């Protein structure tokens, strides 16, 4: 350290020789090139002196010139001849042999370009002619520091849009392609590919596709340098985003597969880290059919670091399957998740509209029953495909739509059933035309083989026989249809490796099971009719009367999980109809009685590939912490809201157990992560699921460590406003628990509580505010930390405003009297000062009518003029001079209270304390103020 002063002295001596002896570390206003304006012994003009020092033998002189070029351009850019002279000096200086001079020059290129763009009309031409060649040439400079400065300058110029399209295509891209060529030097190649990846998002899409994309694909397979492939893998998502979906799927996805299977684990780790960015730019079909299996292979990678990166990216990758509109949500411009307001729409216009929760579905169905058949027939058009137990498949050329019942409803009236049968084709056409409605099957399914003719034939046979045949014949036809579907399934078993065939087998398996359940239901109904002697005169279709439904019938219907999540396809053997019927009954009975099978089915869904969800759910397994990452549970908790948004509230049962496991994790960091995001999860799930599943966890977090409670506290208002009024009122008494902290020095915790209480006031009525929140506010006003006290005074003002805004004047008067006793007559000067601040804020915010203020608060406020503590009188002077006298009410002629206020101000102006007299004398800024609501009330 002893060499620093000597170096500074030498530097200062050199600066003195240049003619500005006053230049030093404390001189901020002097330009670096100020010596050009000071006449020296050489008697040269400023430009001549600039040229002399720019090509001096002293390296330090040339560094000073290069560092001060921006100031030089500011001085000489107004004259065209001087401007060209300076530009010629810059070009000559760019050929300096000293690397430090070239580095200093290159660092000044971006600010010079920005200045010239603003001041020179012919900037594009001069920049392209003089400065751009310097930037391009320095990309191949032998000195590493110069190249680094040139790369940074190039990216800045591209980001600011200072380089024209012609220069990009004819100067920048060619040199980058030459540097990244196979025969190029390894160090240059790594730097070039890094620039290519970073500039991809700053240039036109066509430029990237035509000039840079082929070379990038070539570099992804560079077998010589793994550093090149690693740079490509780390920036793969940016390139995909730059070229778009078509080029990504055609050119980049095959290269991405190669990188994910690279022999170097660092490459695979980089691919796992950018997986989400790649997934965002491709189609849902490719995401499901290609990227999902690829990601599973990274999760099971033999290298622990690759598995760790894959599990960290698992939640973000799952979130790329999300469609918030399907859950009735939308993302605002600020990035927050909000509930989409329900817009009234014509009844039956959308076959995919459905209630947000099972409880709402039941409620709507019961309402349709009580309204009668005439009122429910029209409404059932849109619900026919949801409430029927049949599988309706309509496969077109470009899309495949599967509408399957969520739950077979036994309480279906005759008129509703007729509407369902008659509007089958109408509903299907309506579903196909509703392109703006999200359909989970359409969202990710690839087109399946066209078997629509066979299925239509089966459907027609079934409908014809249902209209003309008794129940026994319907049972027979169902068996025939089931046997034909089984033959199709058996023929597809040889091609189970194809994902399209697997999807088709799942559809047919679900149709087979539904047909079988219909047969069983018809058979039992017929038995009940024979026993009870009920023979309908005319049976146009299968009609379930509520009086004829028994427990056996209900148990034979498929559950909601069975309808949404069909089981995996199995090989079906040919057997006699009787053996097949008994075998299916045994299999169904075994499934019902197997608790493990029910638990597995509860985790099934159709939004994302099931293996991805299974891997995500396994992140809470303690074994994962030992074999993958000790903080894997934290990553799981961090991405859980995104996964929940992807699956939707209808599939919350898949994540419920995982969420409860994370909420009880032994690591407080995991619980803290959940606490910070529980309000977002409440928006996703809705009020019913929030009250059932999130409120108990929320209550547990309230009693947790302060590190966890702060997450609850920061979004307390956001969570409470989502609850029903009765459930929200239960937390009134628990709010005071936030005042007590594990560490009394954690004052920011209490500060955050006061801020949240200001927002929470709108959620409760004045009586609850007076009984519960008033005590918390007064307690915070007496806090040891001033920051907490000042924000608490604002809370007191907000409470007072709450009372008068809701016409609770009696509560407001009682609160005012308590404030006078507690603060105006406080033995400590801090309390009396707080009273002056509260009165000032009341007037500023216009919390109460002016006549109430002058009657109840003004006398006590004016009495502070005789307070012995100057700090109290200072705040009183500010309140009177800067606030009260600014109001039209107090400045109006004839106001009886104006005289008392002016007398107090005169007393304060003559105060012995200079600060008090200053604030009482300072002239307030009179603005053209409109008559506010405070004056309108009088």
* 612-654 confidence digits (pLDDT tens): 999 999 999 998 888 888 899 999 999 999 999 999 989 999 9
CA-CA distance, 761 to 778, in Å (whole number)?
15
Lookup: tokens for 816: 């005012």
The answer to whether 789 touches 826, Cβ cutoff 8 Å, is no
* Other beta carbons within 10 Å of 36: 25
Candidates 889, 894, 787, 909; CA nearest to 848 is: 889
What pLDDT sits at residue 348? 38
> Could you tell me the CA-to-CA distances from 98 to 63, 92, 143, 146 in Å, in that order?
9, 13, 10, 10
Q: Where do we find the tokens 């709108």? A: 762
What pLDDT sits at residue 740? 87
User: C-alpha angle with apex 440: 436 to 444, nearest 5 degrees?
Assistant: 100
10-residue mean pLDDT series, the chain (938 residues): 35 41 40 52 72 86 89 86 89 91 93 89 87 93 94 93 92 93 89 92 92 92 86 93 93 93 92 94 92 94 94 94 70 63 43 37 35 37 35 33 36 39 40 42 48 56 48 48 67 65 63 57 47 40 36 38 40 41 49 52 79 93 88 94 92 93 94 95 92 94 93 95 92 89 89 95 94 93 92 94 92 93 92 93 88 89 92 92 79 74 90 90 56 37
The answer to whether 678 touches 712, Cβ cutoff 8 Å, is yes
Candidates 455, 459, 475, 380; CA nearest to 419 is: 380
pTM, full prediction: 0.65
* 3-state DSSP assignment of residue 402: strand
DSSP 448: P
The answer to whether 618 touches 298, Cβ cutoff 8 Å, is no
The answer to whether 108 touches 67, Cβ cutoff 8 Å, is yes
Task: Judge residue 777's burial from the number of C-beta atoms within 10 Å of its C-beta, 0-12 exposed, 13-18 middle, 19 or more buried.
Answer: buried
Instruction: For residue 339, give the H/E element and its range.
Output: strand 337-339
- Helices 236-247 and 226-234, axial angle in degrees (round to 10): 70
Phi/psi region, residue 450 (left: phi>0; alpha: psi -120 to 50; beta: rest), is: beta
Output the CA torsion sign for 471, 474, 476, 479: negative
Candidates 457, 385, 370, 371; CA nearest to 421 is: 385
Lookup: tokens for 337: 């998740």
DSSP 649: G
CA-CA distance, 745 to 740, in Å (whole number)?
11
Task: Judge residue 156's burial from the number of C-beta atoms within 10 Å of its C-beta, 0-12 exposed, 13-18 middle, 19 or more buried.
Answer: middle
The answer to whether 723 touches 691, Cβ cutoff 8 Å, is yes
> Could you tell me the CA-to-CA distances from 145 to 100, 179, 379, 506, 714 in Å, in that order?
8, 17, 73, 61, 46
Lookup: tokens for 33: 């090139």
What pLDDT sits at residue 620? 93
Q: What are phi and psi of 664, to 5 degrees?
A: -105, 15
Distance of CA 920 to the CA centre of its chain: 50
**Alpha carbon distance, N-terminus to C-terminus of the chain:** 73
CA-CA distance, 774 to 723, in Å (whole number)?
22
* 3-state DSSP assignment of residue 557: coil
> Could you tell me the CA-to-CA distances from 814 to 36, 774, 809 in Å, in that order?
75, 11, 9
* Other beta carbons within 10 Å of 378: 13
Strands (E) located in 275-328? none
CA-CA distance, 36 to 57, in Å (whole number)?
18
């Amino acid at each position: 350290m002893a060499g620093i002063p000597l170096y500074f002295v030498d530097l200062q001596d050199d600066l003195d020789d240049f003619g500005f002896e006053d230049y030093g570390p404390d001189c901020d206003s002097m330009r670096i090139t100020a010596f050009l304006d000071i006449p020296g012994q050489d008697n040269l003009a400023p430009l001549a002196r600039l040229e002399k020092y720019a090509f001096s033998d002293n390296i330090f002189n040339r560094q000073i010139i290069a560092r001060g070029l921006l100031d030089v351009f500011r001085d000489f850019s107004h004259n065209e001849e001087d401007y060209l002279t300076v530009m010629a000096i810059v070009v000559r200086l760019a050929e300096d042999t000293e690397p430090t001079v070239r580095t200093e020059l290159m660092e000044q290129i971006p600010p010079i370009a920005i200045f010239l763009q603003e001041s020179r009309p012919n900037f594009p031409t001069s920049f392209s002619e003089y400065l751009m060649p310097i930037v391009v040439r320095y990309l191949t400079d032998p000195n590493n520091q110069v190249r680094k400065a040139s790369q940074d300058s190039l990216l800045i110029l591209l980001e600011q849009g200072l380089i024209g399209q012609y220069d990009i295509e004819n100067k920048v891209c060619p040199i980058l392609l030459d540097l990244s060529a196979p025969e190029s030097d390894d160090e240059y190649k790594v730097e070039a590919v890094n620039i290519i990846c970073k500039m991809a998002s700053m240039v036109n899409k066509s430029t990237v596709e035509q000039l840079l994309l082929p070379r990038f694909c070539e570099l992804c397979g560079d077998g010589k340098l793994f550093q090149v492939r690693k740079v490509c893998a780390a920036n793969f998502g940016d390139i995909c985003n730059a070229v778009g979906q078509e080029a990504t799927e055609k050119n980049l996805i095959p290269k991405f597969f190669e990188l994910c299977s690279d022999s170097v684990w660092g490459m695979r780790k980089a691919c796992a880290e950018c997986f989400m960015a790649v997934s965002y730019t491709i189609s849902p079909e490719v995401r499901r059919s290609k990227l999902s299996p690829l990601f599973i292979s990274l999760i099971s990678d033999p290298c622990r670091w690759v598995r760790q990166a894959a599990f960290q990216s698992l939640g973000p990758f799952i979130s790329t399957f999300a469609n918030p509109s399907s859950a009735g949500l939308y993302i605002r411009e600020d990035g927050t998740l909000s509930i989409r307001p329900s817009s009234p729409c014509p009844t039956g216009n959308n076959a995919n509209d459905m209630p947000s929760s099972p409880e709402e579905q039941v409620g709507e169905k019961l309402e349709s029953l009580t309204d009668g058949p005439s009122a429910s027939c029209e409404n059932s058009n849109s619900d026919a495909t949801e409430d029927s137990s049949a599988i309706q498949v309509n496969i077109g050329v470009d899309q495949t739509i599967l509408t399957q019942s969520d739950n077979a409803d036994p309480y279906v009236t005759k008129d509703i059933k007729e509407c369902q049968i008659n509007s089958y084709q109408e509903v299907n056409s309506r579903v196909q035309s509703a392109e703006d409605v999200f359909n989970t099957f359409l969202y990710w399914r690839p087109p399946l083989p066209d078997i629509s003719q066979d299925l239509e034939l089966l459907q027609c046979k079934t409908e014809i026989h249902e209209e003309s045949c008794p129940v026994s014949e319907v049972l027979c036809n169902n068996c025939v249809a089931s046997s034909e579907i089984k033959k199709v399934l058996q023929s597809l078993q040889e091609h189970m490796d194809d994902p399209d065939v697997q999807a088709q087998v799942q559809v047919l398996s679900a149709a087979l099971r539904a047909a079988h359940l219909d047969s069983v239901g018809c058979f039992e109904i017929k038995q009940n009719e024979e026993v009870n002697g009920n023979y309908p005169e005319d049976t146009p279709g299968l009609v379930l009367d509520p009086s004829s439904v028994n427990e056996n019938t209900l148990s034979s219907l498929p559950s909601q999980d069975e309808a949404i999540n069909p089981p995996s396809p199995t090989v079906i053997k040919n057997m006699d109809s009787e053996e097949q019927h008994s075998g299916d009954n045994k299999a169904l009975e075994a499934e019902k009685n197997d608790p493990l099978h029910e638990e597995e089915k509860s985790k099934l869904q159709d939004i994302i590939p099931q293996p991805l969800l299974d891997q995500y759910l396994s992140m809470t397994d303690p074994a994962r912490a030992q074999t993958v990452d000790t903080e894997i549970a934290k990553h799981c908790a961090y991405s859980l809201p995104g996964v929940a948004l992807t699956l939707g509230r209808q599939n919350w049962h898949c994540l419920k157990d995982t969420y409860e496991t994370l909420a009880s994790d032994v690591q407080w960091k995991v619980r803290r992560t959940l606490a910070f995001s529980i309000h977002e999860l409440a928006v996703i799930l809705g009020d019913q699921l929030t009250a059932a599943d999130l409120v108990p966890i929320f209550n547990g977090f309230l009693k947790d460590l302060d590190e966890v409670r702060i997450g609850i506290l920061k979004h307390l208002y956001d969570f409470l406003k989502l609850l029903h009024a009765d459930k929200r009122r239960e937390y009134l008494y628990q709010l005071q628990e936030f005042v007590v902290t594990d560490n009394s020095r954690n004052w920011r915790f209490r500060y955050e509580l006061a801020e949240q209480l200001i927002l929470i006031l709108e959620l409760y009525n004045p009586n609850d505010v007076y009984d519960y929140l008033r005590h918390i506010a007064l307690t915070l006003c007496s806090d040891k930390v001033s920051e907490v006290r000042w924000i608490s005074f604002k809370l007191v003002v907000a409470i007072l405003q709450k009372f008068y805004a809701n016409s609770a004047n009696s509560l407001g008067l009682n609160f005012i009297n308590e404030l006078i006793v507690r603060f105006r007559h406080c033995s400590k000067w801090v309390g009396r000062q707080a009273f002056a601040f509260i009165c000032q804020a009341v007037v500023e915010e216009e919390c109460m009518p002016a006549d109430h203020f002058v009657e109840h608060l003004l006398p006590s406020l004016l009495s502070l003029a005789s307070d012995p503590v100057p700090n109290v009188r200072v705040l009183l002077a500010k309140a009177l001079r800067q606030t009260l006298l600014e109001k039209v009410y107090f400045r109006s002629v004839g106001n009886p209270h104006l005289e008392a206020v002016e007398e107090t101000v005169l007393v304060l102006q003559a105060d012995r304390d200079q600060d008090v007299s200053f604030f009482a004398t300072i002239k307030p800024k009179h603005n053209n103020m409109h008559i506010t609501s405070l004056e309108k009330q009088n």
